[in-house]
Amino acid sequence: MSQEVERVYTINLGKVLLSQSQHRAVRAINMIKEFARHHMKTESIKIEEELAHKIWARGVRSPPRKIRVRMSKTDEGHILVSLYDEEAESKILADAEAAAKKAETKKADAKPDITAEPDADPAKEVAEPKVMDTVKEDAKPDITAEPESTDPVKEDAKPDITAEPESTDPVKEAESPKQDPKSEPAKEPKSKSTKEPDSK
């Protein structure tokens, strides 16, 4: 049974509540048939059994307020109204997308690479970056590297950049004693209790 035309609709069944409680499910079925006639422009409508069970699932008095259906035209000219299943639709779409991706990858593998130059020598291309890498390494010293050994003799030999230069003038040395800013004692704030009272 091939399907020429297929459409998905959400039918509002809210007006079912206007009818008497013992006729609501029957009216819901009639509303679905009327909606299908109007939108598919055909008089012969058939409702699938699964859709009817969904309408009658909660009894005659409380059919669903809205329902999502698929309407499809059969070879005989009938309109078949069935319950819409989103999972089945998404599975069909996912399969179609996977098949399309597979076909694209096969086409991409079959095409030759036009961007590659035929007369380029691959050995030269490999050798050149290695030479460039060694030049770059020599030009830039590794600043973040730690010293390899912690030998005290080698550390004393290094000049201390933070230390003050020694002056050879003995007069200046006597006048201003050297103070290391790191070892300077912290100044204590003056508090009111340490002050001596004024005597008058």
Q: Is the pLDDT of residue 48 over 50?
A: yes
Question: Residue ranges of the domains in the chain?
Answer: 6-85
**The pLDDT of residue 134:** 47
* H/E stretch holding 83: strand 79-83
CATH superfamily, region 6-85 = Ribosomal protein L31 (3.10.440.10)
> How far, in Å, CA of 55 to CA of 44, rounded?
20
- Residue 38 has a pLDDT of 95
Beta-bridge mates of residue 11:
67
**pLDDT, tens digit, 9 for 90 and up, residues 84-133:** 988 777 777 778 788 888 888 877 776 655 555 555 555 555 545 554 54
From CA 63, how far away is CA 23, in angstroms rounded?
10
Q: Tell me, what DSSP letter sits at residue 22?
A: G
Distance separating alpha carbons of residues 34 and 79, to the nearest angstrom: 12
Alpha-carbon distance values, 106 to 95, 102, 103 (Å): 17, 6, 5
For the chain, how long is the longest CA-to-CA vector? Answer: 124
Least confident of 43-52, 68-77, 89-98, 165-174: 165-174
Overall pTM surpassing 0.85 (yes/no)? no
**Residue 195: what pLDDT?**
57
Dist. CA 10–CA 118, nearest whole Å: 60
